[in-house]
Structure 1
Amino acid sequence: MRASLASSIAVTCAAVLALPVSLTVPAAASAPPAAALALPPAPELPGSTQSLPLEPLGAANRALGGAAGSGEQGLGRRNVRPFSLVGVVWNDPKAPLHGTVQVRTRAVGGGAWSEWQDVETHNEEHGADPGTAEGSARALRGSTAPLWVGDSDGVEIRVRGEERLPAGLRLELVDPGEAPAAEPERTAPERTVPEGAGPQTRSAMAPATLAGMSDAEVEASAVNARLAPYGATWIPALSKEETEREVRNVPQSQAVLAAPAAAAAKPYIGPQPKIITRKGWGADESIREKGFVYTKTIKAAFVHHSATGNNYTCKQAPSVLRSIYRYHVKSSGWRDFGYNFAVDKCGNIYEGRAGGVAKPVMGAHTLGFNTNSMGIAVLGTFSKSTPPAAVVTAVARLTAWKLGLHGVNPKGTSYLVSGGGNLFKKGTTVRFNSIAGHRDGFATECPGGRLYSKLGTARTSSAKFQGRP
Structure 2
Amino acid sequence: MRTIVGGAAALVLAVGGVVLPVASLPVPQAHAVVPEFDAVELDGIDAEAVADATALVPAEESADVDAPAAQPEDVPPSDVESVTPEVARAATDEIDAEGTLAALSPLTFTGDFVVAGVTWDDADEDVVEVAVRVHEDGGWSEWSALEVDSLDVDGERGGTQPIVTGGADGVQARVVTRSGDVPTGLRVDVIDPGTSAADALAEPGPASSASAATADVLRPRIVTRAQWGADESRGGAWPEVSADLRAMYVHHTAGSNSYSTKDSAAIVRGIYAYHTGSRDWPDIGYQFLVDKGGTIFQGRRDAIHDLPIGAQAGGYNTQTIGVSAIGNYETAAPSSAMLSSIERLLGWKAYEHGLDPTGRTTLLTGGSTGSNTRAPAGTRVSVNVIQGHRDTNGTACPGRYLYAKLPAIRSEAKRLAHNANSFYGGARPALGTPAKVAVATGQAPAARSGSTTYAWRSVSGAVGYQVLHRVASYSQPMPDARAWNVLKVVKGTSVTVPTSAGYTRLVAVRAIDSSGRLGPVLTHTQSTRPVPASAMRTSGFTAASSSAYYWGRSLRATSTSARLTVSSVRDARQVFVVASTGPTSGRLAVYAGSQRVGIVDLRSTQTVRRQYLTIALPRAYSGTFSFRPLDSGAPVGISAVAFPRTPGRTTAGQAGLLSSPTFRAPTASSAPVRYTSTTNYYWNAVPGATSYDLFVRRASHGGAYAATWTSLGSTTSTKFSLPTTHPGGTWIFGVRARNALGVTKATPAVPMSVPVAFEAMKRSAGWTVHENPAVRRGVYTTATSAGRSLTVTGAKDVSRVQLMVATCGACGRLAVYVDGERVGTVSTSTRTNTLDTILEVRLPRTMSGTVVVRTLDARPTRVVAIATPRR
Shorter-chain TM-score: what band?
0.5 to 0.7
Cα separation, 2, equivalents of 1:325 and 1:273: 22
1:301 maps to 248
**Rounded Cα–Cα distance in structure 2 between residues aligned with 1:173 and 1:84:** 7
Q: 1:147 aligns to what?
A: 163
| TM-score (normalised: structure 2) | 0.37
Deviation per CA, 1:91-146, whole angstroms, max 9, x where unpaired? 22233434553334366xxxxx422442323322xx43xxxxxx2312x2222332
Residues 119 and 145, structure 1, Cα contact 8 Å, conserved in 2: no
Structure 2 equivalent of residue 58 of structure 1: 47
In structure 1, what is the equivalent of residue 383 of structure 2?
432
Whole-angstrom CA distance in 1 between matches of 2:314 and 2:10 = 36
| Counterparts of residues 210-225 of structure 1 (less than 5 Å) | none
What is the Cα deviation at residue 374 of structure 1? 0.5
Counterparts of residues 30-49 of structure 1 (less than 5 Å): 45-49=33-37
Counterpart AA for 1:73:
L
Alignment of 1:198-237 (within 5 A): 234-237=204-207
Change in 2 beyond 3 A, CA 1:418/1:45: same
The one-letter code matched in structure 2 to 1:237 is A
State the distance in 1 between where 2:349 and 2:210 align: 11
Amino acid paired to 1:416 = L
Which amino acid letter does the alignment assign opposite residue 123 of structure 2?
A: P
Instruction: Map residues 234-245 of structure 1 onto 2, 5 A cutoff.
Output: 234-238=204-208, 245=212
Deviations 1:364-406 (A, max 9, x none): 2111111111111011111131111222221111111112111
Match of 1:95 in 2: 125
In the superposition, relative to structure 1, how do residues 291 and 76 fare at CA in structure 2: closer, same or farther (>3 Å)? closer
Q: Choose from 294, 298, 305 the match for 1:351.
A: 298
Distance 1:401 1:180 in 2: 31
Give the aligned residue type for 2:198.
Answer: A
Partner residue of 1:263? none
The separation in 1 between residues aligned to 2:414 and 2:219, in whole angstroms, is 14
Deviation digits for residues 62-92 of structure 1, max 9, x if unmatched?
A: 9xxxxxx9544314544x4442222221222
1:83 paired residue number: 113
Letter in 1 for 2:361: S
Q: Hey, what's the Cα distance between the residues in 2 that align with 1:60 and 1:3?
A: 44
Does residue 340 of structure 2 align to residue 393 of structure 1? Answer: yes
Distance 1:46 1:100, change over 3 A: closer
What's the counterpart of residue 232 of structure 2? Answer: 285
Candidates 329, 333, 349, aligned match of 2:280: 333
Paired letter, 1:49: F
Q: Is the 8 A contact 2:33 2:196 kept in 1?
A: no
Report the 3-state secondary structure (helix = DSSP H, G, I; strand = E; otherwise coil) of the residue aligned with 2:143. Answer: strand
Q: Give the corresponding residue for 1:454.
A: 405
Q: Residues 73, 273 of structure 1: CA spacing in aligned structure 2 closer, same or farther, 3 A cutoff? A: same
What displacement does 1:332 show? Answer: 1.6
Instruction: Name stretches of at least 5 consecutive residues in structure 2 with no aligned partner.
Output: 1-7, 13-19, 25-29, 52-99, 423-871
Shift of residue 55 of structure 1?
A: 3.6
Is contact 2:253-2:328 (8 Å) kept?
yes
Q: CA deviation at 1:328?
A: 1.1
Corresponding residue for residue 271 of structure 1: 218
| Match of residue 157 from structure 1 | 172
8 A Cα contact 1:119 1:144, kept in partner = no
Match of 1:19 in 2: none
Tell me: CA distance 1:244–1:443, structure 2 relative to 1, closer, same or farther (3 Å). farther
Runs of at least 5 residues in structure 1 that lack an aligned partner in the other structure: 11-41, 63-68, 108-112, 129-134, 185-231, 248-266
Shift of 1:450: 1.2
State the secondary structure of the residue aligned to 2:234. coil
TM-score calculated relative to the size of structure 1: 0.66
- Any idea what SS the aligned residue of 1:235 has? coil
Q: For 1:451 and 1:296, locate their aligned partners in 2 and report how far apart those are by CA, in whole Å.
A: 29
Which of 327, 350, 354 is the aligned partner of 1:403? 350
Which of 140, 145, 148 is the matching residue for 1:123? 148
Distance 1:51 1:45 in 2: 19
CA distance in 2, matches of 1:243, 1:467: 19
Q: If you compute each CA radius of gyration, which structure gives the higher value, 1 or 2?
A: 2
| Paired position in structure 1 for 2:477 | none
Does the 8 A contact of 1:271 with 1:397 survive in 2?
A: yes
1:208 paired residue number: none
Q: For residues 43 and 238 of structure 2, what CA distance do their matches in structure 1 show?
A: 39
Higher strand share: 2
Give the deviation of 1:287 after TM superposition.
0.8
Q: For residue 292 of structure 1, report the CA deviation from its aligned partner.
A: 4.5
Determine the C-alpha separation between the residues in 2 that align with 1:142 and 1:439.
Answer: 21
Is the Cα–Cα contact under 8 Å of residues 120 and 145 in structure 1 kept in the other structure? no
- Supply the AA of the counterpart residue of 1:157: Q
Q: Deviations over 1:297-335 (max 9, x none)?
A: 111101111113212111111111111111111112222
Kindly state the Cα deviation for residue 276 of structure 1 after the two structures are TM-superposed: 0.8
Change (3 A) 1:364 1:296: same
How many angstroms apart in 1 are the aligned matches of 2:330 and 2:191? 24
Using CA pairs under 8 Å that are at least 6 residues apart, name the structure with larger relative contact order, 1 or 2.
1
Aligned match of 1:324? 271
Q: Give, as a single letter, the amino acid of the residue that structure 2 aligns with 1:179.
A: S
Query: 3-state SS of the aligned residue for 1:391?
Result: helix
User: In 2, Cα distance between the equivalents of 1:43 and 1:243?
Assistant: 28
Residues 193-239 of structure 1: per-residue CA shift (max 9 Å, x gap): xxxxxxxxxxxxxxxxxxxxxxxxxxxxxxxxxxxxxxx9743224x
- Asked if 1:463 corresponds to 2:479, the answer is no
Letter in 2 for 1:245: A
* CA shift in 2, pair 1:374/1:158, >3 Å: closer
What secondary structure sits across from 1:461 in the alignment? Answer: helix
The Cα shift of 1:339 comes to: 0.8
Q: Could you tell me which residue of structure 2 aligns to residue 207 of structure 1?
A: none
Aligned-pair Cα RMSD in Å: 3.3
Aligned-partner residue type, residue 298 of structure 1: L
SS of alignment partner, residue 49 of structure 1: strand
Structure with bigger helix share is 1
CA distance in structure 1 between the aligned counterparts of 2:107 and 2:303, rounded to whole angstroms: 44
Q: 1:43 to 1:390 in 2, by over 3 A?
A: closer
1:181 matches 2:198: yes
Q: Is the 8 Å Cα contact of residues 130 and 148 (structure 2) preserved in structure 1? A: no
Match of 1:397, SS state, is: helix
Report the 3-state secondary structure (helix = DSSP H, G, I; strand = E; otherwise coil) of the residue aligned with 1:447: coil
Q: CA distance change for structure 1 residues 427 and 101 in 2, over 3 Å: closer, same or farther?
A: closer
Between the aligned residues of both structures, percent identity stands at: 28
